[in-house]
Amino acid sequence: MNITRRSLMPLAVGAATALSTPGLAQAAAFPTRPMRLVVPYPPGGSADLIGRMVADAMGHSFSQSVIVENKGGASGAIGTAYAAHARADGYTFLMAIADTLAIDPAVFAHLPYDPRKDFDPISLLAVQPFVLAVGPAVKAPTLAALMAEAKTKPNTISFASNGAGGLQHLAIELLAAAAGVKLLHVPYTGAGPALSDVMGGHVDGIFISLQAGGSALKAGKLRALAITSQKRLSIAPNVPTFAELGYKNFNVQQWYGLVAPHGTPAPVIAALNARSVAAIKSPAIAGKLEAAGTEPVGSTPAAFGAFLDKQIALWAGVAKANHIRIE
């Protein structure tokens, strides 16, 4: 998973300017010591695994260690707030996901950070589409048939989620609005119990990643009706996209990116961006992600910022329309 080790290229800052401006002088020498990537979840999840691959590759590229620091708790809010209030010098940056920077601000009444005011975007790293999967007891052969049944039986077609106010929950509400139906949301205390009850026939369906639901799909314990990717995936070629089925703007994906505390010098952001993009697009990392149904991206800071704005607006609208608020 390592990319080629090479010396840090000179940053685009004139020598005289760098010497006369402390912030730019610091940026020109960046990095001179190990860095920290804060992952606001316990070890072992997708955010942690992607973070560790990228951190390892960036460390080799910079010739400085990038230490992954897991700070879980409060749906990611504890670690995210910790990173938001770190020194804005580039030595601490954050693995951000849809939940922490777009979903949580939409549903939580009080958060110890602001997703745009407290962070500067570095890069969108990867996006992970969801499949809408149903259990073996569901007879509807297609998404259209399932939604037609939902129209005739409001609040009877049930969907599980890993908890109220999370991405899976909001995806259910977004689908209901797009299809013009009323679906029954069944929240669980985690993804495992939710998936188990769908496979057991206690709940009809679930939005789940291919990484989490792949083995159940292969074993026939789940059946995929649609996927939220922009195009069909090579590891699930028979699963149509929502766009193919008429849901043109149904863009529900988990995503992973890097952000730094607000005020981090622009040349440092540029250096972090260049190394993280090279890492995520390296064959070793990209291949592992694609095999798990996750698309490596790599973007400019500006493109990630624009993406964040759209995601924040999308989920704020869904939460408001469905009166989803957690005090």
Q: Where do the DSSP E strands lie in 84-196?
A: 92-97, 119-134, 158-161, 184-187
List, for residues 203-231, the tens digit of each pLDDT value.
999 999 998 888 899 999 999 999 999 89
Do the domains 129-227 and 15-128+253-321 match in fold?
A: yes
Percent of the chain with pLDDT over 70: 91
Query: In a 3-state reduction of DSSP, which class is residue 28?
Result: helix
pLDDT band with cut points at 50, 70 and 90 for residue 6: very low
Could you tell me where the DSSP H helices lie in 115-208? 143-152, 167-179, 191-199
CATH code of the region 129-227: 3.40.190.10
User: For the residues 25-37, what does the mean pLDDT come to?
Assistant: 85
Average pLDDT of the segment spanning 244-261: 94
**Per-residue pLDDT tens over the stretch 38-48:** 999 999 999 99
pLDDT of 292 over the 80 cut: yes
Residue range 15-128+253-321, CATH number: 3.40.190.150
Quick one: pLDDT at residue 261?
98
Q: Which of 103, 161, 156 lies closest to 130 in space, CA to CA?
A: 161
What pLDDT was estimated at residue 8? Answer: 32
47-71 average pLDDT score? 97
What are the sequence ranges of the domains in the chain?
Answer: 15-128+253-321, 129-227
b/e per residue, 82-111, with b = 16+ CB within 10 A? bbbebebbbbbbbbbbbbbbbbbbbbbeeb
Peptide bond into 187 cis (omega under 30): no
Q: By CB neighbour count within 10 A (0-12 exposed, 13-18 middle, 19+ buried), where does 16 fall?
A: exposed
